[in-house]
Amino acid sequence: MKKTIYVLAGILIFLVACKKVTNSESSYLNSETPLLGETAADYSIRGKEKHLPFQLTQNSTFSNEKIELGRVLFYDKKLSVNQAISCASCHKQELAFSDGVKASRGFGNEATPRNSMAIVNSDFGRGLFWDLREFDVKSMVTKPVQNHIEMGFDSITQTLDRLQKSSYYPALFERAFGTKTITVENLSEALGGFVSNLISFKSPYDFAADNNFASYTSEEIRGWEIFNEKRCIGCHGFDLNQGWSTEVANIGLDLVYKDKGSKNPFKGGILEPPFDPRFSSGEGFFKVPTLRNIALTAPYMHDGRFNTLEEVVEHYNSGIKDHPDLDWALREEISADFSKVKAKKMNLSAYDKKALIAFLKTLTDQNFIHDKKFSNPFVAKAN
Return the H-helix or E-strand segment holding 29.
strand 28-30
Q: In angstroms, rounded to a whole number, what is the distance separating the alpha carbons of residues 219 and 203?
A: 17
Q: In angstroms, rounded to a whole number, what is the distance separating the alpha carbons of residues 15 and 34?
A: 33
309-355 per-position pLDDT tens digit: 999 999 999 999 999 888 888 988 766 666 678 899 999 999 999 99
Q: Are 298 and 308 in contact (CB under 8 A)?
A: yes
Q: In angstroms, rounded to a whole number, what is the distance separating the alpha carbons of residues 293 and 120?
A: 9
The reply to whether 208 and 159 lie within a common domain is no
Please count the structural domains in the chain.
Answer: 2
Q: In angstroms, rounded to a whole number, what is the distance separating the alpha carbons of residues 378 and 86?
A: 12
The pLDDT of residue 277 is 47
**Nearest residue to 192 (alpha-carbon basis) of 201, 200, 184, 202:** 184
The reply to whether 244 and 330 lie within a common domain is yes
The pLDDT of residue 19 is 37
Q: Are 130 and 122 in contact (CB under 8 A)?
A: no
24 occurs within a structural domain: no
5 occurs within a structural domain: no
The reply to whether 246 and 323 lie within a common domain is yes
Strands (DSSP E) contained in 169-212 are none
The reply to whether 301 and 344 lie within a common domain is yes
**Nearest residue to 186 (alpha-carbon basis) of 76, 87, 69, 86:** 69
The reply to whether 233 and 189 lie within a common domain is no
When pLDDT is cut at 50, 70 and 90, the band that residue 181 belongs to is very high
141-165 per-position pLDDT tens digit: 877 777 767 777 888 899 999 999 9
The CATH number of the domain holding residue 111 is 1.10.760.10
291 occurs within a structural domain: yes
Q: In angstroms, rounded to a whole number, what is the distance separating the alpha carbons of residues 114 and 185?
A: 27
- Does the predicted model carry a pTM greater than 0.95? no
The reply to whether 321 and 175 lie within a common domain is no
The reply to whether 212 and 105 lie within a common domain is no
The reply to whether 283 and 226 lie within a common domain is yes
Q: Are 278 and 267 in contact (CB under 8 A)?
A: no
Percentage of the chain lying above the pLDDT 70 cut: 77
The reply to whether 181 and 214 lie within a common domain is no
The reply to whether 210 and 175 lie within a common domain is no
What does the chain come to in residues?
A: 383
22 occurs within a structural domain: no
Domain range for 191 is: 30-199+369-381
9 occurs within a structural domain: no
10 occurs within a structural domain: no
**Nearest residue to 369 (alpha-carbon basis) of 61, 29, 32, 92:** 92
114 occurs within a structural domain: yes
The reply to whether 106 and 193 lie within a common domain is yes
First to last CA, the chain: 42
Least confident of 18-32, 51-65, 310-324: 18-32
Residue 275 has pLDDT above 70, yes or no: no
The reply to whether 208 and 168 lie within a common domain is no
Prior bond to 204 cis, omega within 30?
no
Average pLDDT of every residue of the chain:
82
21 occurs within a structural domain: no
